[in-house]
Structure 1
Amino acid sequence: MRDRVRVVVQGQGRRSRRAGIAGALWAVGELAVTVGVVVMLLVVHQVWWTNRQALSAAHEVVRELEERGWAPLPEGGGEGEGQVQGEGEADSGAGASVGPSGGTGGSSGEAAGNPGPRTGKPPPRESAYGILRIPRLGVAVPVARGVDKRSVLDKGYAGHYAGTAQPGAEGNFAVAGHRNTHGEPFRYINRLRVGDELIVDVRGKRYVYLVGQTLAETTERDTGVIAPVPRSIVRPGAGYSEPDAYITLTTCTPEYSSKYRLVVWGTLKR
């Protein structure tokens, strides 16, 4: 009788393990691609779509203000707790503007001296009452009271800081705006130069300011930049020392970051 030959097949276990590892890697790769696509779509929505929505809506508000009349001037700029606004704030109100601790004085209706009589009640927080035009940048943005992120800035508006002057009045008419996303009206204010015009239209009246100084970088707690006589408390050489009618634009810097604030100052053209 012939001996039976026993054949042992080796390597099947290894191949099985390799197939299992390959399947797991494939699944991980598919998951990574899916996550990447989702993240990309979120970025597109945040950076591109919100821009289009806010910009279109803001342009419509500008058109309505020009064609259908103007909202009454606000009593004040809104609420806040001593911080210079930028688009990076996580919440919608607290810490997003300058209150009494910021040294801006009392309500803008009294201390700043509103131009012209008021008619009716002040507009609600989210209602635009004026237009800020920046000819060099081709910008025309609605102005609303307060620097609330959700109800003002995310709509593509410029937000009027609490307690700061009304347009055309002595003191400091200070506004904040997004630099990136949500219409990004202040994206290129770093390109403004001395002598450029900043035009504010309110109820058929026009106030023209001329850019005088730019502060490329300061902290969010530098509330001196929106004081009645604006002067940085972080960089004392930047700002002014005499009373006048000022305008201040603030936004975040560097781009896509809320670490610092970029400031542009101007004075009323007499």
Structure 2
Amino acid sequence: MGTAALVREARRVGTTVARLRELGAGEPEVARAVAGRIGLTAALAEELAVRWAGDHAGIGVLRTLAAQPATGPEWLALFAVHPDEQVRRAVAAHRATPKPTVRALAADSAATVRRAVAARERVPRRVVPALLDDPAAEVRLAMARRPGADPTQLRVLAADPDPEVRAAAAAHRHTPGEALLTLAGDPDLLVLAALAGNRFTPEPALGALTEAACRGLAGRGLAGRTEPGSSDPGQLPRQIVDSLLENGRLPTPLLELFAATEDRGLAARAALLLKARAERAGTEHPC
């Protein structure tokens, strides 16, 4: 029987545990298919780890086991010091990895491993300061994108030197209002668009963003169609305009400003939003 057929057998739902043991001790590619099975038992995962831990040909098996839910904490701790970066990265992301091991991986030499730690649902408090100040932007970006990031962490990330990190902070629901207000004056379009699209951005920040843009963002080196000194929001970069109009919390006076722009398509969109807002409030808005 060829390798492909054996791989299919290893993945088949009805394959017995005894047969899986035989397959796991054979070719590396077949053993990897066994290691990746959904519902793999902890006992079989350990057998595979014992069989392939010292075999360079089985690196693919170890990478799969490091991400396998059935792999136990003891083996994850051992895999955490493996010379292969992909193995350590999988351990850093594994939910069952012991906390001391996670803390050690937060200082790993590979940025991809530290990024996996930063992207965990729960990050040990002891390593948070180091991750917020990590030299690799991808690690700090992972921290900014965590759903569980708290306001204190996001306040730091909102002042990050990398615009992509600041944009992630600008889009996060837990970023403090004062940090969002500061980001309204950011010189990067990516950050401003993220801020405009954040439904938790306070009205003062949305207003500051629009007013700053209308004063001429292009004069501060931003990409877009804005003319220095322009007061017409129709001249704002389209990315920001779309995000602002899609944000249901844009203050009515600013929405009226958009409705009065010379850009007919934009004015029509703003007018429809004003009408819908007036109808929800039980009043009639003159168009």
Q: TM-score range by the shorter chain?
A: under 0.3
Larger fraction in helix: 2
Q: TM-score, normalised by structure 1?
A: 0.23
Q: TM-score, normalised by structure 2?
A: 0.22
